[in-house]
């Protein structure tokens, strides 16, 4: 699961200009900032969720594209993004990790086991709301894109005046 931002028409526009370097750095900067904005929004959206998902979020920037993605298994990422439907049963140790905040090398106490079983029952009955961490990245980049584009235009205008 990932978000990808691309600058389409960049090569054509570059060819129309006498100096192809005119756009290279401003567009690269736009992609760098878009990737950073998306990564930050993704991590904020999942805050309070599973730590492994937060640590798995990455961004990759190329000259005309930026991607925000998770390194965790696709099915797990979809489950976190979209939530769980009523009737789905979550594994006991997943519920125990949610209850305790611990991730490995632990044995839940009797009270923690009871709380985990309660979580399992509630999720099975009502489902669980998704964190929309990749969706949040998309929304935040879309919100910031006009500002980022204005910055590119200003940089190109400044370079043209030089």
At 161 the pLDDT is 75
At 50 the pLDDT is 65
Lookup: tokens for 127: 């489902």
User: How far apart, in whole angstroms, are the C-alpha atoms of residue 85 and residue 99?
Assistant: 20
Per-residue pLDDT at 10 exceeds 80: no
As a whole number, mean pLDDT of residues 107-130 equals: 92
Confidence of residue 148 (pLDDT cuts 50, 70, 90): very high
Lowest average pLDDT, out of 99-108, 119-128, 141-150, goes to 99-108
70-77: list long-range contacts, CB under 8 Å, 24+ apart: 70/1, 70/2, 70/42, 70/133, 70/134, 74/1, 77/1, 77/53, 77/134
As a whole number, mean pLDDT of residues 83-91 equals: 91
């Amino acid at each position: 699961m990932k978000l990808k931002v691309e600058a389409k028409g960049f090569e054509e526009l570059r060819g129309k200009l006498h100096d192809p370097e005119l756009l290279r750095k401003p567009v690269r900067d736009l992609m760098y900032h878009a990737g950073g904005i998306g990564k930050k929004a993704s991590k904020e959206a999942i805050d309070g969720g599973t730590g492994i998902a937060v640590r798995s979020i990455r961004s990759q920037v190329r000259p005309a594209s930026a991607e925000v993605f998770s390194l965790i298994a696709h099915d797990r990422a979809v489950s976190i993004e979209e939530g769980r439907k009523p009737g789905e049963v979550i594994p006991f140790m997943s519920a125990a990790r949610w209850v305790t905040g611990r991730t490995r090398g632990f044995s839940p106490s009797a009270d923690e086991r009871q709380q985990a079983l309660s979580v399992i029952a509630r999720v099975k009955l009502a489902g669980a709301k998704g964190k929309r961490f990749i969706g949040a990245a998309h929304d935040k980049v879309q919100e910031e894109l006009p500002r980022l584009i204005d910055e590119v235009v200003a940089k190109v205008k400044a370079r043209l005046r030089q």
